[in-house]
Structure 1
Amino acid sequence: MAALIPAVAGLLLLATPLAAQEGGGSHAIALHGTPKYGPDFQHLDYVNPEAPKGGEVKLMAFGGYDNLNPFILRGQAAAGSGLAFETLTTSNGDEAITEYGLLAESIQVADDRSWVSFTLRPQARFHDGKPVTVDDVIWSFETLKEKGHPLYRTYYADVVKAEKTGERTIKFSFRNGNNPELPVIMGQLPVLPQHAFAGRDFAATTLEPMVGSGPYKVVDVQPGRSITYERVKDWWAKDLPINRGRYNFDRIRYDYYRDLDVAFEAFKAGAYDFRQENSSKNWTTGYNVPAVQSGQIVKEELKHQDPQGMQAFVFNIRRPIFADLRVREALNNLFDYEWTRANLSYGLYQRTKSYFANTELASTGLPSPAELKLLEPFRGQIPDEVFTKPYEPPKTDGSGNIRANLRTALGLLKEAGWDLKDGKLVNGQGQPFRFEILLVQADMERIVQPFVRNLERAGIQAQIRVVDSAQYQNRTDNFDYDMIIERFPQSLSPGNEQRDYWESSRADLPGSRNSIGIKNPVVDKLVEALIAAPDRDSLIAATRALDRVLLWNWYVIPHWHDTVYRVAYWNRFSHPAVAPKYGLGFSDTWWVDADKDAKLAGSPRRTGQ
């Protein structure tokens, strides 16, 4: 995403029972059945309700920032900036498809799902002490839609009216009842103080801390160096059951690094406290240091059930060289995943074969009857393999010899009008096949370089360019690249956000997440079928059908994913015995353990080098 935007992930809503909610309102809305936590619950199961408050935690952020407004397209939002703000409802790490009232104390949904209504809590307050009002909600909705990140216009496209229906009640009316997740989306509306923006341009970047209503507020801004948040001691929502035992750190500071290798060494030297390790090389070989051996640094692998989405080399098919499906398939044959996993990933991770990896939404085998019902009308408009073959990315034997894949690739390229002449791949006009791979993380070069060497074997000239985070964001916002590495995150119930990923209307809109540049009417129709799915089985079928069409169009070269969080941290924390099913939960469920902290403080901490 171009900016840090508080979660508005697609979560399909079929609230039950709707009629009961319409009468008196509910504390929560759920996909199927009833929410796990009833109206009288005291705390979430994966928290320690008696967790002590206190202490400061230092974290690492990459690149830089020039903006404290995470709701707009311009600028780079600061790490953690969502901590200062709240939404009408909130999710939890136990349930992927249930929302509980936060700023709203109750939720009502029309029986035909044509509207949703929220009643605000009377005690809800912004950091400046002013109450959160219905006018603030309406102003936030209208402002985000008009001046906020383009993503909001997609999410709210089917909302036709926001109106005040009571002193503390707001009602959102929808175009029709065919978009069942809209009540959830409106619950995830960030609510901002209208009075704090009087005379200010909402769409302009700012380094002035914004007034929110969340558990933390900004207390120190050092652009290019750090940003610090402080827990709001008199936070109005601290005693709500949904928050009990959460947000335990008194201060959270993000220190910025422009080099990831430097950041890793800084962690081992004690410069910051906690690290989620995404480098297989670091995890396997980089922690053989005294601080780990002595127990001062703890390494843990924490299992999770999070959807993994798709990380991949992404083709920008706005570029003519990538417009042909056969070209994209050919380049898939030139990425030697098996060799990469064995030699660069130390045998960790597994190949991603779906845009909805690690979920029941991922397509497998051949299409089911329910999928075929959606796909058959498009026979002849989509690749035949959608109907005849289970998707598998090209494989090698892992030896580094890709001769068979190279032959396949050159055959496909020849069909697409490219010939190998004097060691260079050229088209009918004699123009060489040349493109740039744009990176923001220099450590990814070790993954990309072997791919570039394989491209060279096919006569393709590929150049790696590493840019700083500001330039990278600007170029990706404006689709100024040939190929990038990107991850398409997913939820367990995809919905409206799929428009921003794949639909034709988003392909030329700066800041959209349609980084591929897809303009495919079949994809458009499958996305709309997914959004309108009336039940879970229909949603699964529509998502799998969409997955197949995306995969067999070879829009990306899939990378890998994993089912564990690999974390390392200085041994001054404790965490609940029960972990959330979804998410890591560090910043909102862990706490500084006074005994461990004192023991660590009394030992020579900088022994990691």
Structure 2
Amino acid sequence: MIRHDSRTRAVRFAPRMMAAALTGLCIAALAAQMALAQDDSDQKIIKSHGYSFFGDLKYPEDYEHFDYVNPDAPKGGEISIALAGSFDSMNPYTRKGRAAALSTVMYESLLGQVLAGSGALPADDFDEMYGLLAHTIEYPEDKSWVIFHMRPEAEFSDGTPVTAHDVLFSHNLLLDEGLKSYAEAVRKRIPKAEVIDDHTIKFYFADGISRRSLIDQVGSVPVWSKKWYEESGAKLDESRLETSPGSGPYVIEDLDVNRRVIFKRNPDYWGWDLPINQGRHNFDTIRLEYFADSTAAFEAFKAGEVTFRTEADPKNWASAYDFPALNRGDVVREELPDGMPPDMSGIVFNLGSEPLKDKKVREAVALALNFEWTNKSLLYGLYAQQRSYSDGTRLEAKGLPEGEELAFLESLGDVVPEEIFTEEPWTPHESDPDRLTSRKNLRQALKLFEEAGWSVGDGGKLRNADGQTMKLNFLFNASGSPTDRAIAENFVVNLKAMGVDATFESVDSSQYSKRERDRDYDLVFDGYPALLGTGTGLAQRLGSEAAEYSLFNPAGLASPLVDKIIEESLMTESQEEEDVTIRALDRALRHEFIVIPDGYKPDHWVAFWDMYEHPEEIPPYALGTLDFWWVNEEKAEELKASGALK
């Protein structure tokens, strides 16, 4: 199932003041700068080709390529992928419009990121980043600032150089016109940025805050052309098809709204010889084809109109891969290991919905999902059910808190409810795999509803003390898979059996995007990324400050307990301390109960026409299809010669 799984203008204050006041401020500023210089002189200045918070890097300065890539992978050929839905924009940095997939593929950052914007780079270590537009970074031990030294050879696809002025412009543009939740968080943490020279930029970080996700955040800002934006008058907060030139290995070759986008590998790309790029960006062409729904997208793959597919539907995986091209060996079907813990995805509660503000109501509603029946009847027994935001890792909370985790939770004071200490972490309920509606769960749900003030009244409907019925709407994207639809519809059937006045509403992709942004739903398929470590992104996704409008917090969670744990986690100074706080955060999020997990596939399910190859071992943190797979031209020619592909 596909779920919806940011980075940074110097803040300038220029009020009119009396000359004496200005003089005083200048003297104070000079004194502060001298003090900062003195502080820095007492610290070790770290210079490096990459960055990790704790300072350990797997790859040395003279590394030649990442271990998992094939540095001799041939360049050439095409990969084509089908997507269900539509698009009307190539700008994913605005709330307006629906952006096409890979809309960011043309842009690079100071520190390298994975091509498709997901997973990690390098894909064999989640906590490291290496220089891309920057060849070196330097920062003091206290990480109060960072300087990036940029590669002078870097240039945009229009041939103009990429400079520090473009980096500062991009940082400011995100603050002025980007998402509100992002801009507010960054302004507090990064009060100033300045260009030192054309290829050197410095960012200053606020005093008294955690140094987590600061250097990597500014290092991950997509760098846009200042010249193009100023000459075109384009805005970041508008939906548009025009794109600024990027400095990355791909450029847009063709664009047909709601039908296709074609990206072409740029032969004049400036960075082909960098070690970070060896064995990567191997396809000459990446073609994205859009279809009305997932069924049409699958048919296009079977017919060879598209050539690669990551399967998300277990029904398809179990029963639909029986067609001529596969049976004669022209299509390959593989299950590849996935080293990432699963996202906490499923049915998300909108905590702004009046009845769902009560946790007992949420617990009762959750009993309407019969995972065991769903897995057996709809998912072909192929799914596992996630219980934790760090499922299967050392960060998963288990049993009652003890040792360092107990001590940490006790140090937080009254913000921690007593149940955290006396009850084991939430785990999914069990259901009868042979019956959609479990009588035991129905009785338990009605008991919870009654405790929350809802009783079954006239017409078998749940009503509160004022006689109002409980109304819940499940919003669904019409381009979603038939299996997803079946799960949602059966869930609604069980809600109705409990007495909930539940409705299932299927809307087209454009309406769905707007409704989801506006949080206009009670229940929706969505989720939260797995917890792998700390960072300021946790506050944006899970924190109270931006809960009302953050696009990354579909439940609208605003929990003082979660806020406090994140705050303390950001201040940890060792991996061991960080692990304790993330384990506590997993426990707290499961206590808050904002998602009904609907299961996950433990491996990557992929199918492709037999002309693509990949490294023998897939790294744990990325499948990497568009990153480090390649075309075997001999096999491609054989498929064309046989008439299997055009």
After TM superposition, is the score higher than 0.5? Answer: yes
Q: Tell me: CA distance 1:22–1:66, structure 2 relative to 1, closer, same or farther (3 Å).
A: farther
CA contact (8 A) 2:332 2:610 kept: yes
Choose the corresponding residue for 1:161, options 175, 192, 207.
Answer: 192
CA contact (8 A) 1:27 1:105 kept: yes
CA contact (8 A) 1:3 1:76 kept: no
Which residue is equivalent to 2:218? Answer: 186
Which residue is equivalent to 1:141? Answer: 171
Choose the corresponding residue for 1:462, options 470, 492, 502.
Answer: 502
Cα distance in 1 for partners of 2:184, 2:593 equals 25
Which residue is equivalent to 1:551? Answer: 590
Deviations 1:101-131 (A, max 9, x none): 0000001122112111111011111111111
Is 1:447 paired with 2:491? no
Is 1:308 paired with 2:338? no
Choose the corresponding residue for 1:239, options 257, 273, 279.
Answer: 273
Choose the corresponding residue for 2:156, options 102, 112, 126.
Answer: 126
Deviation at 1:399, TM superposition (A): 2.4
Cα distance in 2 for partners of 1:300, 1:416 equals 48
The code of the aligned residue for 1:329 comes to E
Is 1:417 paired with 2:453? yes
Which residue is equivalent to 1:596? Answer: 635
Which residue is equivalent to 2:107? Answer: 85
Which residue is equivalent to 1:495? Answer: 535
Cα distance in 2 for partners of 1:5, 1:123 equals 26
CA contact (8 A) 1:68 1:210 kept: no
SS at match of 2:288: strand
SS at match of 1:598: helix
Deviates more, 1:531-540 or 1:245-254: 531-540
Deviation at 1:163, TM superposition (A): 1.2
Is 1:102 paired with 2:132? yes
Deviations 1:399-456 (A, max 9, x none): 2151111111111100111001241111111111121101112521111122112112
Q: Tell me: CA distance 1:330–1:383, structure 2 relative to 1, closer, same or farther (3 Å).
A: farther
Which residue is equivalent to 2:389? Answer: 355
Which residue is equivalent to 2:30? Answer: none
SS at match of 2:191: strand
CA contact (8 A) 2:341 2:390 kept: yes
Deviates more, 1:121-130 or 1:67-76: 67-76
Cα distance in 2 for partners of 1:19, 1:428 equals 68
Q: Tell me: CA distance 1:470–1:284, structure 2 relative to 1, closer, same or farther (3 Å).
A: same
Cα distance in 2 for partners of 1:360, 1:188 equals 27
SS at match of 1:464: strand
The code of the aligned residue for 2:495 comes to L
The code of the aligned residue for 1:49 comes to P
Deviations 1:224-248 (A, max 9, x none): 1111111110101111001011111
Cα distance in 2 for partners of 1:381, 1:300 equals 46
Which residue is equivalent to 2:246? Answer: 212
Q: Structure 2 matches for 1:160-559, cutoff 5 A? A: 160-176=191-207, 178-198=210-230, 199-376=233-410, 377-378=412-413, 382=417, 384-385=419-420, 387-400=422-435, 401-421=437-457, 422-440=459-477, 441-443=480-482, 444-490=484-530, 492-509=532-549, 511-559=550-598
CA contact (8 A) 1:69 1:210 kept: no
Deviation at 1:67, TM superposition (A): 1.5
Cα distance in 2 for partners of 1:351, 1:383 equals 27
With normalisation by structure 2, the TM-score equals 0.88
With normalisation by structure 1, the TM-score equals 0.93
Which residue is equivalent to 1:34? Answer: 56
Choose the corresponding residue for 1:113, options 125, 137, 143.
Answer: 143
CA contact (8 A) 2:65 2:279 kept: yes
Cα distance in 1 for partners of 2:185, 2:73 equals 37
The code of the aligned residue for 1:548 comes to R
Deviation at 1:339, TM superposition (A): 1.1
Deviates more, 1:174-183 or 1:233-242: 174-183
Cα distance in 2 for partners of 1:465, 1:531 equals 40
SS at match of 1:561: coil
Deviations 1:154-174 (A, max 9, x none): 552311110123442111111
Cα distance in 1 for partners of 2:520, 2:626 equals 35
SS at match of 1:408: helix
SS at match of 1:513: coil
Identity of aligned residues (%): 37
Deviations 1:175-212 (A, max 9, x none): 13523221111111111110010133232221113211
The code of the aligned residue for 1:30 comes to S
Deviations 1:455-479 (A, max 9, x none): 1221112111111221111111111
Deviation at 1:22, TM superposition (A): 5.7
SS at match of 1:547: helix
Deviation at 1:4, TM superposition (A): 10
The CA RMSD over aligned residues, in Å, is 2.3
The code of the aligned residue for 2:203 comes to F
Deviates more, 1:23-32 or 1:398-407: 23-32
Unaligned stretches of 5+ residues in structure 2: 9-39, 113-120
The code of the aligned residue for 1:217 comes to V
The code of the aligned residue for 1:416 comes to A
Cα distance in 1 for partners of 2:181, 2:290 equals 27
CA contact (8 A) 1:21 1:108 kept: no
Q: Tell me: CA distance 1:577–1:389, structure 2 relative to 1, closer, same or farther (3 Å).
A: closer
Structure of higher CA gyration radius: 2
Cα distance in 1 for partners of 2:174, 2:418 equals 39
Unaligned stretches of 5+ residues in structure 1: 8-17
Cα distance in 2 for partners of 1:130, 1:22 equals 36
Deviations 1:309-355 (A, max 9, x none): 20021110101110111101111222111111111111112111112
Deviates more, 1:494-503 or 1:317-326: 494-503
Cα distance in 1 for partners of 2:497, 2:545 equals 37
How many corresponding residue pairs? 596
The code of the aligned residue for 1:499 comes to A
SS at match of 2:453: coil
SS at match of 2:333: strand
Deviation at 1:24, TM superposition (A): 6.3
SS at match of 2:126: strand
CA contact (8 A) 1:4 1:81 kept: no
Which residue is equivalent to 2:86? Answer: 64
Cα distance in 2 for partners of 1:165, 1:606 equals 54
CA contact (8 A) 1:386 1:548 kept: no
Deviations 1:379-411 (A, max 9, x none): 575361553223212112322151111111111
The code of the aligned residue for 1:507 comes to A
The code of the aligned residue for 1:218 comes to I
CA contact (8 A) 1:378 1:522 kept: no
